[in-house]
Amino acid sequence: MNVYDFDGTIYKGDSTRDFIFYLLKHYPKVIKYIPAFLFATIKYRFGIISKTKMKETLYRFLNSFNDDEINRIVNEFWDEHRKNIYGWYLKKRDDSDVIISASPRFILEQICKELKVNLICSEVNKENGDYIGLNCYGEEKVKRFYKEYQNTKINEFYSDSKSDTPLAKLANIAYLVDKNGKINKWVL
């Protein structure tokens, strides 16, 4: 089985950031949530709040939409942004692939179904933006992987971030993807 991070790895950019900018462009009513998020970002940078709490502040925009609206908006977003999936991944993709990401399910679920791959990610309540459990990041990715796939070996692992070193150490071979989508062997 091959395992991939999503943002910056098989997707050129950050899907959450791109989704927020998409919302601001097409649904400007969400701009009212930006000041609180900027304040939360400052608090996070100074170690006052956790990364999860900062992100929950960002996801408060979900209060402005019902479930059907969010699903429709996510569909529209992927209609415009699926082109950001790297071609190398589309050629290599396999039904047994696992995408593991800190990005929330409500953003990634549709594209992963379309790609016909398995998804492990951060769980966020679509009604209020609160996390359900921990942010799927760093060591948490390892815990989530083993919860879903006990005793499963990772053949190849791909990521753009050293924060994924815990998963990279589990793989037979690991690769770092640079910002241009170039794949390099990961030296651990």
Per-domain residue ranges of the chain? 2-185
**What size, in residues, is the chain?**
188
Under the banding of pLDDT at 50, 70 and 90, the label for residue 88 is: very high
**How many Å separate Cα 86 from the centre of its chain?**
15
E strands, the chain, are: 2-4, 98-104, 118-122, 154-159, 171-177, 183-185
CA distance 100 to 45: 25
Say which residue the tokens 């949530």 belong to. Answer: 33
Say which residue the tokens 């791909």 belong to. Answer: 158
pLDDT of 34 > 90? The answer is yes
Under the banding of pLDDT at 50, 70 and 90, the label for residue 98 is: very high
Under the banding of pLDDT at 50, 70 and 90, the label for residue 183 is: very high
At the top level of CATH, which class does the domain 2-185 belong to? Answer: alpha beta
Under the banding of pLDDT at 50, 70 and 90, the label for residue 118 is: very high
